[in-house]
A and B are shown apart, each in its own frame.
Chain A
Amino acid sequence: MTERKIRVLVAKPGLDGHDRGAKVVARALRDAGMEVIYTGLRQTPEMVAEAALQEDVDIVGLSILSGAHLVLVPRIVELVRKNGQKDVVIFVGGIIPDEDVAALLDAGVSAVYGPGTSTVKIVEDVKQFTIKR
C-alpha cells in the first residue's frame, strides 16, 4: 500500500513579509519526500491552527522575523492543542534572540532554529519528531 507520508504545514504568522527562509525550508522538506502545505504571508494564529486541522498535518513549522514570536507562538500552540491535535509537533525558525528560546520551548515548541541552521539538520529533526509521535 501507499507509505505513510509526512505532512508538514509551513506557515508565516505575523506581519513581516519575508518568506525566503520559509520557502527554503519548505523546499528542503519537499526534497526529503514530505508533503509540505504552504499558506503564504501574514497569517493569524487562528488561520495557522485552522490549516493545521483541515490538513491533518504531523508537523507545523512557523517562520517569524518580526519579533512578535513571544505573542504569536504560544497562541498558536494553544489553539492547535485546543483543536485536539495534541501530538502535532511545532517548531519555529527565524530571528529569535537566544534569551527567548527557553520561553518558546516552555510554550510547547519542540525546536527553535536561528539563521544559519542547515536544512539537513531541520530535515533530520523533522524525521525524528515524526518517529517519536
Chain B
Amino acid sequence: MGVAAESGFSNDRRLMLARQITAVENDTAAGRIALDETFKKAGKAILIGITGAPGTGKSSLVNQLTSYLRSEKKLTVGIVAVDPSSPFTGGAILGDRVRMRDLSGDDGVFIRSMASRGALGGLALATAGVVQLLDAAGYDVVMIETVGAGQSEVEIARLAHTTLVVEAPGFGDDIQAIKAGILEIADILVLNKADLPGVESTERALKANLEMGYPMGINGKAGHQQSIEKQDEITGWHPPVVKTVATRGTGMKDLVEAIFKHQEYIKGSGTLSARNKERLKIEFEYLLKHRLFTDWQRNHTQQEIEQALIKIYSRQLSPQQALDQLI
C-alpha cells in the first residue's frame, strides 16, 4: 500500500467518515451535527458529476478517471455512486463497485454507494451532504455518479462544478440528441465505447447538436483549436466531445485536460461562484420548507389533519380551502 501511506487517510479516519455518511443518509441528529461541523471546511474539492444512460459506461469511466488522477496528478478522490431504490420495497442493489475494483487497496480513494431512496433526478436527497463530508475530509476531487435513468437527471448539474454526460454509440438517433434535458447540462460530452462501430455517426449527431446550441460557435471550423478558444472568450464555454474507451483507459488524458480547462473557465468567468450560490440557495429553501412543515405538523394533531383530509376526500373542500382553514 505505497500510495496509501502518502494519502494520510488512516483506517480510523475512514471509519469515522463512513459512519458520518450513514448518519447523514439517515438524517439523524448526529448526521446534522456532522453537516454543521464540516460546512466551513468544505468547498475546496473539485466536484465532478458523471451522468448518462444505463450501460454507457459511467462506473468504468469513474474507475479509469480516478486511476489516472491518482497516478498522474497525485490527487485524492472521493466517489459517491448512486443506484436506484425499489419504489415498492425500498431495497436496492448497489453494484457500481463491481467496475471500480482497480481502485481498491488505495487509501487515497474512498468509494461510497448510495441508494436513491425515492428521490427523483438521479441523486438521493442526502447526496449533497455526503459530498460535503468527503470534501471536508480532504479529498481533492469528489466524483458523483448518478443513477443513470436518463433524460431528467439534471440535479447533478446543480451539485457538480463540471458535469460529464456519457454517451455511447447505438443509444438513439439525432432526435435523442436534441431533446431537452440531459445533453443541455453537459459541460463535457464523453463519447465512451469509442471503439464500437457507429461511433462516427454518434459523434456527428452530438457535435451537430452542440453547434445548434451555440450558433455563434465553431460553425464548420470544428477542430481548429485557435478559433474555438477565441469563441470561448466571446460566447462562453463550448462543451467539447471527448472520445474514450473506459474499459481500457483510452482517452483519460484528453478527458482530464478538458475537465481542468473547464475548471479554469468556471473560476475565471464567475460561473463557479454563481453555481455554488444557486446550490446553497436551493438547499436552504429545501430545508426551510422541511422545517416549516415539521413545525406545522407538530402543532397540529393527527385528528385535525385527518378531518381536513376527510373533507377533501368527500369533495366538501378543495385542498386549498382545507389549508386555509388549518393555517
Interface residues of A (CB under 8 A from B): 1-5, 7, 26-27, 29-40, 43-44, 46-47, 50-51, 53-56, 83-85
B97 touches A39 (CB 8 A): yes
A55 to B105, CA, bound (A): 15
Partner of A47 from the list B22, B99, B104, B110 (CB cut-off 8 Å) is B104
Return chain A residues, CB-CB under 8 Å to B92.
30, 35-36
Supply 27 A–B pairs (Cβ within 8 Å), ascending by A: A1-B26, A3-B26, A5-B115, A7-B22, A27-B93, A31-B89, A33-B91, A35-B92, A36-B92, A36-B93, A36-B94, A37-B95, A38-B93, A38-B95, A40-B98, A40-B101, A44-B104, A47-B105, A51-B111, A53-B11, A53-B15, A53-B18, A55-B112, A56-B21, A83-B11, A84-B11, A84-B15
* Interchain residue pairs A-B with the least CB separation, the first 4: A40-B98, A30-B91, A56-B18, A47-B104
Contacting A at CB under 8 A, from B25-62, are 25-28
Kindly state the separation between the CA atoms of A84 and B17 in the bound complex, as whole angstroms.
13
Interface contacts beyond A35-B92, A38-B98, A85-B15: sample of 16 additional A-B pairs, CB < 8 Å, sorted by A? A30-B86, A30-B89, A33-B89, A35-B85, A37-B94, A37-B113, A38-B95, A38-B97, A39-B97, A40-B98, A40-B99, A47-B105, A51-B111, A53-B15, A54-B110, A55-B18
Count of chain B residues with Cβ under 8 Å from any Cβ of A?
33
* B14: Cβ under 8 A from any A Cβ: yes
Q: Tell me the dominant secondary structure on chain B's binding face.
A: mixed
B72 within 8 A of A: no
Q: A1-B27, A46-B105 are in contact. Are A54 and B95 (CB under 8 A)?
A: no
Q: Say yes or no for B261: interface residue by CB 8 A criterion.
A: no
Asked if B74 is an interface residue, CB under 8 A from chain A, the answer is no
Greatest chain A CB density within 10 A among B28, B90, B93, B111 is at B93
A37 to B: closest C-beta gap in Å: 5
Of residues A35, A44, A83, which shows the largest number of chain B Cβ atoms within 10 Å of its Cβ? A35
> Are A56 and B19 in contact (CB-based, < 8 A)?
yes
Residue of B nearest to A42 (CB): B101
User: What's the nearest-Cβ distance from chain B to residue A72, in Å?
Assistant: 16
Query: Would A30 and B93 count as touching, CB distance under 8 A?
Result: yes
Nearest-Cβ distance from residue B85 to partner chain A, whole angstroms: 8
Please name all residues of chain A whose beta carbon is closer than 8 Å to the beta carbon of B99 when the two chains form the complex.
40
A117 to chain B, nearest CB (A): 20
- Give the Cβ gap from A92 to chain B, nearest Cβ, in Å: 20
Interface centre among B26, B86, B95, B111 (most CB of A within 10 A): B95
| A54→B93 contact, CB < 8 A | no
Q: B6 → chain A, closest Cβ, in Å?
A: 17
Q: Is B12 engaged at the interface, CB distance under 8 Å to the other chain?
A: yes
Measured between beta carbons, the chain A residues less than 8 angstroms from B115 are 5, 35
Q: Which residue of A lies closest to B101 (CB)?
A: A40
Contact present for A50 and B105 (CB under 8 Å): yes
